[in-house]
Amino acid sequence: MADQKDIERPTPHGEPPRDWAGALGSDAETPRLASVAEDVGFMGSALYEKGKTIHNKRIDGPFRRFKWLVMLVTLAIYYVTPWIRWDRGPYAPDQAVLIDLANRRFYMFDIEIWPHEFYFVAGMLIMAGIGLFLVTSAVGRAWCGYACPQTVWTDVFQHVDRFFDGDRNARIRLDKAPWTASKIARRTAKWAVYAAIAFWTGGAWIMYFADAPTLTVDFWTGNAAPVAYATVAILTGTTFWLGGFMREQVCIYMCPWPRIQTAMLDEKSLIVTYKDWRGEQRGSLKKAAKNPDQYGDCIDCNMCVAVCPTGVDIREGQQIGCITCGLCIDACDKVMKEVGRPRGLIDYATLDQCKAEAAGAPATPAWKALLRPRIFIYFGVWGAIGAGLLFALGTRTHTDLTVSPDRNPPFMLLKDGSVRNAYTLRLRNMEARPRDMEVALMGLPQGAVMWTDAVAREDAAPTQVIAVPANETKVVRAYVMLPPGIDEDDSLAFTFRLTSLDEQRETDLAETTFAMPEDDE
Amino acid sequence: MVNKRIDQPTGTETVGHEWDGIEELNTPLPRWWLWTFYATIAWALVYVVLYPAWPLIDKATAGTLGWSSRGDLAREMSAAEAARQGVFKQIAATDIEALGNNPELMAQAIAGGAAAFKVNCVQCHGAGAAGSAGYPNLNDDDWIWGGTLSEIEYTITHGIRWEGADATRANYMPAFAGVIEGAQVDAVTGHVLSLSGKAKPNPAGAQLFADNCAACHGASGEGMVAMGAPALNDAIWLFGGTAADVKKQILAPRHGVMPAWNERLDPVTIKMLAAYVHSRGGGQQAAPVALEAATTGDVAQTPKAETDG
C-alpha cells in the first residue's frame, strides 16, 4: 500500500475475513494471502516489529457514551474517595476509606477490618476473581473494554492526543511531519499534560494510605515519608509510560488476563463480532451498485479499524487484541445508517448466535446469551461468598479474649499454701472508644480469685474490671489463685469470661486450665 | 534450506527451516521488547560493577559501592542500640521505686530485664524463674532478703555471701550438730513443721526453738528479712519441706551463694533485672510512706489508678 493512501484510507492487514467456524477450528480454512513484507523491521527480518502508534478516530454512539460514563465514574471514585470524611469519634481517623498500614487497620466507611479479619479482604479478592470469570462468561471482555485502569487511562491519554493534535488523520500527518518548532511545542505541551495526569494519578494513590489533607500538606512541604515520594514517582512513571506510550501493547503483550480469557470464552460467550455472512463480499457502494448480487453489506470503509483503540480489524474475527469496547459497533452502525442498511453488521453476539443467524434463523437478542448454566453457577458461587462475608460482617463481635497460660512454671505455691497460676490475657476492643471490660472466672472451686499486673493482690476478687483503650488490644498479665486445702492433683479446666460493660454487653469465652501441684507426700 | 513461506491457517511467515515437516512460525515480537532485553543487560553490567558479583576462591568481588549484607546488619544493630539509649538513660535517671509511675518505662524495663535474665540468671533460677532446691523461686511471695524493687536491686547488685563484695548480703546459720542431741533434733524438727501445720505441736521442740532459733527466725517462725532469716511458718521451703530435709538443715545448714552482679552488669541492666523479677507475681510494694512519695504527681497515669477509680 502506498503511504498516501494509507493516510487517507487506512487498510486492515489486508486479508480476507476469517470464517466463523474457522475460528473454532472445524471447517476448512480459506487460503490466505498475507504479506509480511510491510512489517519488515529490525535487522531486515521480521523478528522484531516496530511499534505502530494507534491513532483512533473519534466516534460517538451508545458504546462510546457508556465508555465515557464508566470512565468518569471510575476516575471520580479513584480521585475523590480518599477525600470523603467519615466521623468515627475522637479515637479513630475520620477518612472514609483508609488503609492504615502503620496501625494495621483498614477503614471503609462503617467497616473497620483488623489484621485477624484479613479473610474479609481475601474473600473480596476471591470475589473479584470470580467476578471477572462471571463477567467474562456473561459479556466477554467487558472488564478490558470499559473498566480496566489500563483502558481507562489509555482512553484519557487518547483524548489528550485528540485535544492537542486533532483527530486521526491530523495525528497521522503530525507523526510523519518533520520536527519543526511547532511540532516540538505541541509535543512538549502534550507530554506535559500526560505528566500532569500521571502525577495526579500517582499522587491520588498514596492518599488511600494516610490522612489525605495532612499528607497533601506534608507532601508539598517535604515532610512526607520517603516511601510516599517513591510511590508517587513510580506510579507517575508507569502511568506516563503505560498510558501515554505503551497503551495497547500492555493488553496484547504484557497482561495475562487476555490469555486467561481466551480459555474462558466459548461459542456461547458474548463477543464483538463481524457478521461476515452478511458483510461479504466487501465492496464499495459504487461497486455494489454495479453488481448488487456479488457484494454484501460491508462497504469496506474501514471505519471499524479507524476507531479501534487497539488497532485491530474486527472483521478478522475474535482476537487477542480485541478488548470488546464496542466502538467499532458504534462506527459500523453509524455507517450502516448513512448507507441505509440495517444496523448490527458488527455487533455483540455469540458465535452460536452468528452460526444460527448465518443459517437463516431469526436474530436472537444478545441478552439471551446471559441465560446459561455457567453464568448462574459463577453468580451462585460469587453471591454465596458475598453473602457469607456479609453475614460474618454483620455478626462479628467487637470484643475478643484470648488466654495463654504460663507454661514455666505452670503453677506457683505461695506462702500460705494457696496455689497461683499466671495467664497472659489479650483483650481486644474493636470499638472506636475506650471500654471497660469485666473478666470473670467460671468453673473454678469456691474461693478462686484473680488479680492482674495493674491490680494489687490485696484487691484480688473473682472478677476484675479492665479498662481497654479504644481500638486496641490490651495485654494483661493475670494471676488466678486457689485457696489452700483444695485436694486436687489434676489440672482444672475453667473458663475466662469477658463482658463489655456497656449497652452492648458483648461477651467472649476463653477456655484454659489451672495447673495444680503434684502431691509430694 | 531456507525456504520462507506463508503458513496457510495463520497467515504468518515461517522462519524458513523445516525439520521432518515441523516448521516454526516467525511471529515478530514488538521491538520495545528487544530494547527491554538490552536494558536488562545494561543493568546487569552496572550491577556487576557496583555490587558483589563474581565468586572468587574465598570471597566474591566487592563491588565499588562496598555494600554487604553484613554491613547492613551492623548498621541496623547500631541503630537499634542507639534507639535504646534514650530508654536506658531514662531508666538510669529514675529511682527504681518510682519506675512504676511511668508504666511505659516500666514495661520497657521489664522487657529488658527479661532479656538479661535469660542470659545471666536462668542457669540457677531456671528459665521460668521458678528456681529449684537451694535456688530461690522468684515467682512466689516469699522473699528471704525482701521483695521490694529496691531490695531486689540491692540483692542483685551485691549478691549473697559473695566473697570480696563488702556490701554483700550475708548470714550464716550455725550448725547444730553436736549442740543438740538426737531426740532434741527430732523435737525441734517437729516444732518447725508444726509452725506451718505440717505436724502436731511439740512442746519440747517449742522450748528448744525459743532458746536457739527464735532470735533469728522469730518467735512463731515468721523469719526476719533484715537478717535474711527465712520464714519457717509458710509453705515454701528453700531446701525442702520434709522432716528429713529440715533435720539436715538444722544439723548442717547449707548456704546459697549468688554473685555480686555489679562486677559484671551495669546499673541499668541490674535495675531492669530487678523490675523483671519484681514483675513475676510476688513483688512487694515499698513501705506506704515511700510509695506515696513516689507516686504523687502523675497517679492518673498508672493503670492501677485507672482501674481502681
Smallest CA–CA distance from A455 into chain B, residue? B304
- Least CB–CB distance from B307: residue in A407, A415, A465: A465
Question: Taking CB atoms and an 8 Å limit, are A41 and B28 in contact across chains?
Answer: yes
Q: Report the alpha-carbon distance of residue B170 to residue A47 in Å, rounded.
A: 91
> What is the total residue count of chain A?
521
| Chain A contact for B126 (CB, 8 A cutoff) | yes
Window 168-197 of B, Cβ < 8 Å to A: 196
Nearest CA in chain B to A29: B9
Residue A513 has pLDDT above 90, yes or no: yes
B3 pLDDT tier (thresholds 50, 70, 90): confident
Min Cα separation B57/chain A (Å): 39
Question: Phi and psi dihedrals of A508, rounded to 5?
Answer: -145, 145
The residue-averaged pLDDT of A53-68 equals: 94
Q: Under an 8 A CB cutoff, do A34 and B308 touch?
A: no
Q: Give dist(CA A219, CA A228) in Å, integer.
A: 8
SS (H, E, C) A38-65: HHCCHHHCCCEECCCCCCCCCCCCHHHH
DSSP bridge pairs for A442: A495
B-facing residues of A in 478-497 (CB < 8 A) are 479, 484
Which residue is it, cell 444460527? A356
pLDDT of residue A250: 93
pLDDT-derived band of residue B288, with 50, 70 and 90 as boundaries? low
Q: Give A112's strand partners.
A: A107
Task: Name residues 5-64 of chain A within 8 A of B (Cβ).
Answer: 15, 29, 31-34, 36, 39, 41-42, 45-51
Question: Which chain B residues touch A33 with a CB distance below 8 Å?
Answer: 6
In this prediction, residues A342-364 reach a mean pLDDT of 89
Kindly report the CA angle at A506 between A502 and A512, in degrees rounded to 5?
125
Question: ∠ CA A397-A401-A402 to the nearest 5 degrees?
Answer: 135
Residue A323 near residue A144 (C-beta atoms within 8 A): yes
Q: What is the pLDDT of residues B154-201, one digit of tens each?
A: 999 999 999 989 999 999 999 999 899 889 999 999 999 999 888 899
Residue of B8, B30, B127 with shortest CB distance to A253 = B30
Q: Read off the pLDDT band of A221 (50, 70, 90).
A: very high
Task: Judge whether A370 and A353 are in contact, CB under 8 Å.
Answer: no
Number of neighbours of residue A66 by Cβ within 10 angstroms: 15
Mutate to test the interface with B, among A413, A423, A449, A468 (most CBs of B within 10 A): A413
Q: Which residues of A touch B26 (CB under 8 A)?
A: 45-47
On whether any CB of chain B is under 8 Å from the CB of A249, the answer is yes
- Searching chain B, which residue's CA lies closest to the CA of residue A436? B307
Residue B195 in contact with residue A415, Cβ under 8 Å? no
Please give, rounded to a whole number of angstroms, the shortest distance from the CA of B162 to a CA of chain A: 27
Q: Which CATH superfamily is domain B81-309 in?
A: Cytochrome c-like domain (1.10.760.10)
Between A39, A417, A455, which is nearest B28 by CB? A39
Residue B245: partners with Cβ closer than 8 Å, 6 or more residues away: B237, B239
| Shortest Cα–Cα distance, B54 to chain A (Å) | 31
SS3 category, A478: strand
The set of residues, in sequence order, having a beta carbon less than 8 Å from that of B173 and lying 6+ positions away, is B216, B229, B249, B253, B255
With beta carbons under 8 A apart, name residues in chain B contacting A416. 234-235
Weakest-pLDDT range from A91-95, A262-266, A355-359, B156-160: A262-266
Q: Which residues of B touch A29 (CB under 8 A)?
A: 8-9
Residue type present at position A221: T
C-alpha distance from residue B307 to each of A351, A393, A437, B283, B290 (Å): 73, 32, 10, 19, 22
Distance from C-alpha of B22 to C-alpha of B188, rounded to nearest angstrom: 106
Q: How confident is the model at residue A1 (pLDDT cuts 50, 70, 90)?
A: very low
Q: Is A4 on the interface with B (CB under 8 A)?
A: no
Of A49, A414, A455, the CB nearest to B140: A414
Of B28, B234, B307, the CB nearest to A454: B307
B130–A contact, CB cutoff 8 A: yes
Average pLDDT over chain A, rounded to whole? 87
Report the chain A residue with the minimal C-alpha distance to residue B241.
A520
CA atoms of A264 and A266, how far apart (whole Å): 7
- Write down the pTM of the prediction: 0.77
**Do the beta carbons of residue A460 and residue A414 sit within 8 Å?**
no
Chain B positions in Cβ-Cβ contact with residue A39 (cut-off 8 Å): 28
Backbone φ, ψ for residue A353 (5° rounding): -60, -40
Residue B18: band (very low, low, confident or very high) from pLDDT cuts 50, 70, 90: confident
Contacts of B232 (CB under 8 A, 6+ apart): B192, B195, B196, B217, B221, B223
Choose between A470 and A9: higher pLDDT. Answer: A470
Q: How does residue B308 score in pLDDT terms, banded at 50, 70 and 90? A: very low
Q: Name the least confident of A111-125, A184-198, B110-124.
A: A111-125
- A223-259 pLDDT per residue, tens: 999 999 999 999 999 999 999 999 999 999 999 998 8
Residue B254, pLDDT above cutoff 50: yes
Residue A246 is given by DSSP the state I
Max mean pLDDT among A115-119, A208-212, B177-181 falls in A208-212
Identify the three-state secondary structure at position A346: strand
CA distance B303 to B309: 10
Mutation target among B32, B121, B276 for the A interface, most CBs of A within 10 A:
B32
Contacts of A195 (CB under 8 A, 6+ apart): A236, A240
pLDDT at residue A140, rounded to an integer:
86
* CB within 8 Å: B33 and A466: no
How many Å apart are CA B151 and CA B148, to the nearest integer? 5
Q: What is the pLDDT of residue B24?
A: 87
Flag whether residue A147 sits within 8 Å of chain B, measured between CB atoms. Answer: no
Average pLDDT over residues A456-468: 93
User: How far does chain A reach from its first CA to its final CA, in angstroms?
Assistant: 107
Q: Can you tell me the mean pLDDT for B94-104?
A: 91
- CA–CA min distance A299, chain B (Å): 24
Which whole number is the average pLDDT over A271-299?
Answer: 88
pLDDT band at A323 (very low <50, low <70, confident <90, very high): very high
Tell which wins on pLDDT, A433 or A292.
Answer: A433
Q: Do B281 and A412 touch (CB under 8 A)?
A: yes
Enumerate residues 374 to 433 of chain A having a beta carbon within 8 A of any beta carbon in chain B: 406-409, 412-417, 420, 422
Span between the terminal Cα atoms of chain B, in Å:
96
Measuring CA to CA, which residue among A238, A248, A242, A265 is closest to residue A142?
A265
> Is a pLDDT exceeding 50 seen at residue A8?
no
Cα B306 from Cα B303, distance rounded (Å): 5
Q: Do A408 and B126 touch (CB under 8 A)?
A: yes
Residue A339 pLDDT > 70, yes or no?
yes
A396 residue type, one letter: R
Closest CA in chain A for residue B137 = A412
Residue B96 near residue B274, CB atoms below 8 Å: yes
Helix and strand numbers, DSSP H then E, in chain B: 12, 3
Q: What is the DSSP letter of A454?
A: T
CA atoms within 13 Å, Cβ hemisphere of B65: 13
Peptide bond connecting A409 to the previous residue in cis, omega within 30 degrees of 0: yes
How much is the pLDDT for A99? Answer: 95
Closest CA to B186 of B248, B255, B252: B248
- B10–chain A nearest CA distance, Å: 8
pLDDT at A263 over 50: yes
Q: Residue A238 phi/psi, 5° resolution?
A: -70, -40
Give the three cell numbers for residue B211. 532458746
Those residues whose C-beta lies under 8 Å from the C-beta of residue A235, and which sit 6 or more positions away, are A198, A201, A202, A205
Residue with the bigger pLDDT between A519 and B232: it is B232
Spell out which residues of chain A touch residue B288, defining contact as CB-CB under 8 Å: none
Residue-level pLDDT at A202: 95
DSSP state, residue A316: G
* A283 Cα to chain B: minimum distance (Å): 22
Say if CB A378 and CB A130 are below 8 A apart.
Answer: yes
* DSSP code string of B37-91: HHHHHHHHHHHHHHS--SB-SSSB---TT---HHHHHHHHHHHHHHHHHHHHHHH
The predicted-structure confidence for B39-82, as pLDDT tens digits, reads as follows 999 999 999 999 999 999 998 888 999 999 999 999 999 999 99
Contacts of A484 in chain B (CB under 8 A): 235
Which residues in A370-397 are b (16+ Cβ under 10 Å) and which e? eeeeebeebbeebeebbeebeeeeeeee
pLDDT band for A520, please (50, 70, 90 cuts).
low
Residue given cell 448466535 in the structure block = A353
pLDDT at position A47 is 67
B300 touching A (Cβ < 8 Å): no
Interchain proximity A456–B31, CB inside 8 Å: no
B39 interfaces chain A, CB cutoff of 8 Å: no
Q: What is the dihedral of CA A62, A63, A68, A69, to 10 degrees?
A: 80
B304/A409 Cβ within 8 A: no
**Contact assignment for B6 to A34 by CB distance below 8 Å:** yes
- The residue that leads in pLDDT, A489 or A447, is A447
Cβ(B267)–Cβ(B92) below 8 Å: yes
State the span(s) of chain B assigned CATH 1.10.760.10. Answer: 81-309
pLDDT at site A519: 61
Taking contacts as CB-CB distances below 8 angstroms, the residues of chain A near B242 are 520
Closest CA to B261 of B148, B144, B168: B168
Query: Which residue's C-alpha cell is 455478626?
Result: A395
- Chain B residues whose beta carbon lies within 8 Å of the beta carbon of residue A477: 279, 281
- Contacts of range B105-112, beta carbons closer than 8 Å, 24 or more positions apart: B106/B275, B109/B271, B109/B272, B109/B275, B109/B276, B110/B272, B110/B275, B110/B276, B110/B279, B112/B87, B112/B268, B112/B269, B112/B272, B112/B276
Angle between helices A149-165 and A62-80 (to 10 degrees): 110
Mean pLDDT score of chain B: 88
Judged by a CB distance cut-off of 8 A, whether residue A456 touches chain B is yes
Whether cis (ω within 30° of 0) applies to the bond prior to A281 is: yes
Position A487, amino acid: D
How many of the other CB atoms lie within 10 Å of CB of B266?
Answer: 12
Total beta-carbon pairs less than 8 A apart between chain A and chain B: 116
Q: What is d(CA B177, CA B172) in angstroms, rounded to the nearest whole number?
A: 15
Looking at A94-148, list the stretches that DSSP marks H as alpha helix, in order from N- to C-terminal side.
119-139, 142
pLDDT-derived band at B27 (thresholds 50, 70, 90) equals: confident
For residue A477, the model assigns a pLDDT of: 92
Give A280 to chain B, closest Cα distance, Å. 19
Is pLDDT above 70 for A12? no
**Chain A residues touching residue B279 (CB < 8 angstroms):** 453, 477
What residues of B are in contact with residue A455 (Cβ under 8 Å)?
Answer: 304, 307-308
Nearest to A228 by CA among A75, A101, A345: A101
Mutate to test the interface with A, among B15, B36, B122, B304 (most CBs of A within 10 A): B304
Residue A210 has pLDDT above 90, yes or no: yes
Rounded CA separation B67/B71 (Å): 7
